[in-house]
Amino acid sequence: MFKNRTDAGKKLAVAIKKYKDHNVLVLAIPRGGVEVGYQVAEYLNADFSILISRKLPFPDDPEAGFGAIAEDGSTFIFNDAALWLSGEQIDHIKQEQINEINRRIAVLRKGKALPEMAGRTVILVDDGLAMGSTMRAAIMLCRKRETGKIVVAVPVAGRRVADGMALIADELAVLETPRNFMAVAQVYENWYDVPDTEVLDILSREKSNCMVQCYISNASQSGPSAELLFLSAFFNLYEPEGKEYDNVYDNSCNQK
């Protein structure tokens, strides 16, 4: 169990600590994945942004989905979707989600483009994988951008979904794969739907930290001061608490 998304993110960061200070890019899937991704990026000293990927929901059951679409239009649809929906229905649902994607890019990322990722190691983070469709669409986007390596890192996933994800990602790290897994929320003591305002607060935190780190870097060129030494010490004290996950689902030994 995780106390909340902050706790999950800190524990996930430790599980992939081999990427610390390796110039990786962490991309979180909003909204639930943003706090988790922020904690991972902070610990790894990595670049951080958000990648928008949306579930394609069934019209009569919005909590269930038949696929997902990423912000570049990359679309993953389960094979049996055509048994339940017509092509016209699918196109209509896709357009609805494209509209929401565009809204989130404008509001959450202020209209900015995704960071350059060609040749880089990209770590895709969410707060968990239910069916895994939004992560699949995100991976498709990254492949099109010629990413050097794709690492999928999540606190929890069902075993079958994890097995499938391991086949399409270059590396997979999952902290928990519970038996009788029904929903991501079941492994969190404090679970709630994350609003836009919280995402914006997290992203502003990231921007502030980047500014301080830039200040430290520039100031260090003219010799250390008491203020510089304090700031450096503050930012180097970050070490997540929690148990070490010896049984992390990790397919890094079978990288493509």
**Is 189 among the domain residues?**
yes
C-alpha dihedral sign at 10, 190, 137, 196:
negative
**Is 32 among the domain residues?**
yes
**Is 222 among the domain residues?**
no
**Is 217 among the domain residues?**
no
Task: Say what the pTM is.
Answer: 0.84
Q: How open is the CA angle 186-188-189, to the nearest 5 degrees?
A: 110
**Is 124 among the domain residues?**
yes
C-alpha dihedral sign at 201, 122, 111, 211:
positive
Predicted local distance difference test score (pLDDT) of residue 165: 97
**Is 62 among the domain residues?**
no
What does the pLDDT look like over 228-253, one tens digit per residue?
A: 444 344 344 344 444 444 446 666 54
Taking 60 as the threshold, does the pLDDT of residue 210 lie above it?
no
Taking 60 as the threshold, does the pLDDT of residue 152 lie above it?
yes
Residue 24 belongs to a domain with what CATH number?
A: 3.40.50.2020
Confidence band, pLDDT 50/70/90 cuts, at residue 19:
very high
Pairwise CA distance, residues 208 & 30, whole Å: 20
**Is 220 among the domain residues?**
no
| Long-range contacts of the stretch 38-42 (C-beta < 8 A, 24+) | 38/9, 38/202, 38/205, 38/206, 39/6, 39/8, 39/9, 39/10, 39/12, 39/13, 39/240, 40/9, 40/12, 40/13, 40/16, 40/123, 40/125, 40/153, 41/206, 42/13, 42/209, 42/238
What does the pLDDT look like over 176-188, one tens digit per residue?
A: 999 989 999 999 9
What does the pLDDT look like over 71-115, one tens digit per residue?
A: 999 999 998 876 889 999 999 999 999 999 999 999 999 999 999
Predicted local distance difference test score (pLDDT) of residue 234: 39
Domain count, the chain: 1
Range of the domain at 142: 5-50+117-208+240-254
Predicted local distance difference test score (pLDDT) of residue 237: 39
* Average pLDDT rounded to a whole number, residues 191-220: 72
**Is 100 among the domain residues?**
no
What does the pLDDT look like over 48-73, one tens digit per residue?
A: 999 999 999 999 888 889 999 999 99
**Which residues lie below 8 Å from residue 129, measured CB to CB, with a gap of 6+?**
135, 154, 156, 157, 158, 161, 162, 165, 174, 184
Confidence band, pLDDT 50/70/90 cuts, at residue 217:
very low
